[in-house]
Chain A
Amino acid sequence: MSFWQLMQRLDRRIIYTLIFVSVIIPTLFPLKLPTAVTPETMSFFNAVDSLPAGSRILFPFDCWPSTRAETEPMAVAALRHCFRKNLRVVGLSNVGMGGPSVLENVMNRIAEENGKVYGVDYVNLGYKANYQAVLLGMGSSIETIFPADHRGTRLADLPLMREVPNYDSLVYTVIVSDNAMIDYWVSLVNARYSMPMVAGVTAVMAPKQMSYVQAGQLQGLLGGMKGAAEYETLVGAVDKANRGMDSQSLIHLLIIGFIVLGNVGYFMTRNDKREYHGERG
């Protein structure tokens, strides 16, 4: 059996081990490579940065716990930016599994860093089922859909929510999403209520969302951990996402190497297979 035939039969556990090693090494020995900022991330940053202090914004965190590595750094960086700009944040989640819990933990942590008070500077509305009804219903009355916040406090008892009966009282929407919810925000809320918005999405979703950015339905976009790393750099709070970019670089090179190696092996052994079949024929 030739070398290339052996390579074509490489045990997958060797591949897994190499992947593990290429994540572990940069984590233990950081390279601290600088991250270039893409135009859509710059647009995201500028859109939030241009909001006047005291503006009330909506902060949907429509993410599953499975993608926290990508979405939590985005949410952390975005909330840091919002609180430093003294924006007042109304948060909610349309993902029942963990969305409101993660949002609550992140909001509380970043708010404490910035001396913000719950109920005055930020609120977590929590979760309600059937996202279409939630998005449309909030256009008329937020209190009809969310009689109380995630903690069970009635909206009438929260100073911030007394000023926000519906979308008309909100000036911007900063979305962090890892699923098709972003399509609903764009096609329902942006289209019907002309609510300007920016979005941070997982890398899987970023190619599709670029169509919305080009169409002006989204004013900026963060794509995956790279987008989060770029935003952390712009906000001046380098954190987990930047830390992860070193490992990202090494694994990308490794996977490209695998693909090239696999193709070289395929072309090298393709002729062997042809000769073998020729003999049999």
Chain B
Amino acid sequence: MVVAFFGRGVVVDAVSDEALRWQTIVGGIALLLGVFSIVQVHWRRVATRHEDRVYSAILLLCLAVMAGFGVFGGVGTGSVYDWLFENIQSPMMATMFSMLAFFIASAGYRAFRARSVPSAILLVTAIIVMLGRIPMGQYLYDGLPGWATWIMTVPSVAVQRGIIIGAALGAASMSLRVLIGIERTYLGRG
């Protein structure tokens, strides 16, 4: 992969393209490992008469139904698989994440305290951005959207860029460690 970036050639291109294709296949099969693990865990709960075995049985039933429709009924628009996704699964996933709005409000009330100068700076900036990015903010004070835009395009960009550069340096060095064989934790040993 590294060589393919620097030099184009028939052999390099062919090997690189084939490796990329294999990655998509192996990566896809790897996702089934997760499904397998879930089945294993919940099957064990049902078999050992765990107190939540009824819920585990429901989980396994829903898994089987969805997988069965996906394999035998197709995954396209209009299929039962697609209906179950659009009308049950997707709304549930959206609902679960929407509950974070309540938790963030509750946490903001209980825990967000201006105990020091840095936390006060954080609090004031958050309030400016939250007001500047809503239509009502403009009615409160004309300059709020401009202030919010300035915060997003100058100090925030500076910090995010610093974090991107720092994280990228760390990730690049970790990749190099893997490539030269120093890092072997993925094999199950140090």
Binding site for B on A (CB under 8 A): 10, 12, 15-16, 19, 33-36, 38-39, 64-69, 96-98, 101-102, 104-105, 108, 128-130, 132-134, 136-137, 140-141, 144-145, 150-152, 192, 206-208, 210-211, 214-215, 226, 245-246, 248-256, 258-259, 261-263, 266
Contact = CB atoms under 8 A, between A and B. Distances in A.
Interface in B57-90: 75-77, 82, 85-86, 89-90
6 contacts: A16-B106, A129-B31, A256-B127, A256-B130, A259-B108, A262-B113
Interface string B103-146: 01110111011100000000100110011011111110000010
B20 to A, nearest CB: 4
B108 A263 contact: no
Given A151-B76, A245-B135, A262-B113, A98 B90 contact: yes
A129 B135 contact: no
B27 interface: yes
Interface stretch (B36-44, B45-53, B157-165, B179-187): B157-165
B106 A140 contact: no
A13 to B, nearest CB: 9
B164 A208 contact: yes
A258 B105 contact: yes
Contacts, number: 171
A136 to B, nearest CB: 6
B149 A258 contact: no
Interface string B12-28: 01001101110111111
Contacts of B173: none
Contacts of B77: 101, 104-105, 108
B132 to A, nearest CB: 10
A132 B26 CA distance: 13
B130 A144 contact: no
Given A128-B24, A263-B114, A102 B135 contact: no
